[in-house]
Amino acid sequence: MGTWQDAMGVKIVTKGFGVPGSHKLSVYTQRGGFQAFPKALTWQPSALTDEVKKSNLRGRGGAGFPTGMKWSFIPKDAKLTYLVVNADESEPGTCKDRELLAYDPHLLIEGMLIASYALGCKHAYIYIRGEMMREARIVQEAIDEAYAAGWLGKDHPAAGGGGTFKLDVTLHRGAGAYICGEETGLLNSLEGKRGWPRLKPPFPAIKGLFGAPTVVNNVETIMNIPEIITRGGEWFAALGTGKSGGTRIVCVSGHVNKPGVFELPMGIPFRDIIYDVCGGIPNGRVLKGVIPGGSSMPPLDASEIDVPCEFDALMNDPRIKDVEVKPGVPFDLGGGRRLKSMAGSGGIVVFDDQTDIVALCARIMAFYAHESCGQCTPCREGSGWLARLCTRLARGEGEAGDVELLANIANGIGGNTICALGDAAAWPMLGFLTKFRADFESRVKAAGTAPLHKSLPKSVEGAA
């Protein structure tokens, strides 16, 4: 087992970045594409799932669930299964799937072919975010090319699955709701219903799209599959750290000199990402904190950035403080488990010491209030309440007790909702309060002196 530095420079899913015409089938095949799929067809489907398990590939959409295990939940005797690729990337701070789709759509198609073969799926869907119009066009052209070349829509001789394998792929454009990136909200939307998340159980692996067993995987997750088949699960696992195989794509934004989308080693610490990969903080300012994986994840403060940008480390590393409900009282994730942070979708947002933390938090809360689907009460009512209170504090008009109230509301939302969107609003709220409590307390009216930020989120103007 080497160090994370060994994997520096390894490219699995960003190989097409910067290659002229990389989204074309001809360029993709020149680069060695569509070799993993014929190889996979010589395997039994179950062997593919085992290989993915061996690779320690974890879902790149946010939760980091082991992909192989997710695949193995599909009942063995299922007659009809679906694969749905979640390309509804909408977590603030995340922009990796968009680039991946624009540069290498055929890698996604090849990954879908292999995954569908492993899952016994005959019709796979790509649910793409409505705003990604350019990418939707590119992906559709790629699908058309793949049909014309016979990769899609034609029988291929296969070792398993009754001797032949054929896949159809449909691209479906969403209408731009954040909640439709939640896998069961996505399935409802794909079925033509309101994009409300479903109650679990039953999980999609048992009852998913149109009632059939379904696997929903992120774009980046599926794009890793061909390389795993080509180079083996063990190689992929060795590339990563601990129980997380492969590389990690991060999208760095905020106060860094060189923001962008980078494919990096799984175990790289945030310090190296900020100061080496992204060239440090502009104007000689000092780091105040980092959002590690999209705005729904609790932030890290400047003292916590030596932690690797890896799934388990962000959840368990003792260098990260527990998120608290109030000073000294940790937030209960359930059963006494503590919340630190999570790797999420890889959207890293860096902020320097000039940042108005309360205004930043108010903007994040305004986002979740706007995007709450409205199905279950705590998130629907609580997220709007958080946004209004945060905005009031950001204006310096907070009342005494507002800070405690924010924490109490967030604590009431967290863990009590149907889907994770409630947590997505509650966790950062509690995280910001834990790490930057003084910033909030300075905005209570009685405190008096706090300077105000110029631009408050427009969507909650006048609501408080």
Partner 1 sequence: MTTTPITGTPPSPAPATELVTVTVDGKTQQFPKGTVLLEACNQMGAGVPFFCYHPGLTSPAVCRQCLVDVKGQPKPVPSCYTPVADKMEVMTKSPRALDVRRQMLEFTLVNHPIDCPICDKAGECLLQKHYFDWDAKLARNDGIKVKKAKVVDIGPRIVLDQERCILCTRCIRVCDEVAKTHQLEMADRGDHEVLTTAPGHQLDNPYSLNTVDVCPVGALTSKDFRFAMRAWELYTTPSICPGCATGCNIEVHHSHGKIQRLIPRQNDQVNEHWMCDEGRLTYKRVHAQRLAAPMSGGVPVDWDRALDDAGRALRVALDAGPAQVGVVMNAQSTNEDLYALARLTFDHLGLGKVYLAGLDQGWSDDILVSADKNPNTAGAMAIGAGRLRTLLDLANDLKSGAVTTLLVVGTHGVIGKDGAPGALPLDRLTTLVVVGTHRDEVTAAAKVALPLAEWAESDGTFTNRLGMVQRVRAAVPPAGDSLPGWEILSHLARKLGATMEFTEAKTVFAEAKQKLPFMKDAEWGRPLLPVQLRFAGSRG
x/- mask, partner 1, residues 162-191, rule CB under 8 A, reads ---------------x-x------------
Q: How far is the CB of 63 from partner 1 (least distance, A)?
A: 16
Closest approach, Cβ 464 to partner 1, in A, equals 6
Angle between helices 219-231 and 96-103 in degrees, nearest 10: 60
Q: Which of residues 253-282 bind partner 1 (CB under 8 A)?
A: none
Measured CA to CA, the distance from residue 17 to residue 14 in angstroms comes to: 5
Tell which one of 93, 226, 245, 384 touches partner 1 (CB under 8 A). 384
CB of 158 to partner 1, least distance (A): 41
Q: Going along 219-292, which residue ranges are E strands?
A: 247-254, 260-265, 287-291
CB 223 within 8 A of CB 319: no
Question: What residue spans of 58-104 are helical by DSSP H?
Answer: 67-72, 96-103
Min dist CB 60 to partner 1, Å, is 26
Q: Rounded distance, CA 378 to CA 421, Å?
A: 10
The one among 380, 395, 435, 453 contacting partner 1 by CB under 8 A:
380
Contacting residue, 136, 418, 419, 424, with partner 1 by CB under 8 A: 418
CB-based contacts of 314-318 (< 8 A; 24+ apart in sequence)? 314/340, 314/341, 314/342, 314/343, 315/340, 315/341, 315/342, 316/340
- How many chain residues interact with partner 1 (CB under 8 A)? 38
Nearest to partner 1 of 171, 342 (CB atom):
342
Per-residue contact flags (x/-) with partner 1 for residues 337 to 376, judged by CB under 8 A: x-------------------------------xxxxxxxx
Tell which phi-psi region holds residue 246, choosing left (phi > 0), alpha (psi between -120 and 50) or beta.
left
Residue nearer to partner 1 on the CB measure, 105 or 414: 414
User: Can residue 90 be called a binding residue for partner 1 (CB under 8 A)?
Assistant: no
CB atoms within 10 A of CB 167: 24
Beta strands per DSSP E along 274-408? 287-291, 300-301, 324-326, 329-330, 347-352
* 323 is a site residue for partner 1 (CB under 8 A): no
Which spans of this chain sit near partner 1 (rule: CB under 8 A)?
A: 177, 179, 194, 199, 333-337, 369-378, 380-385, 388-389, 392, 399, 405, 408, 412, 415-418, 463-464
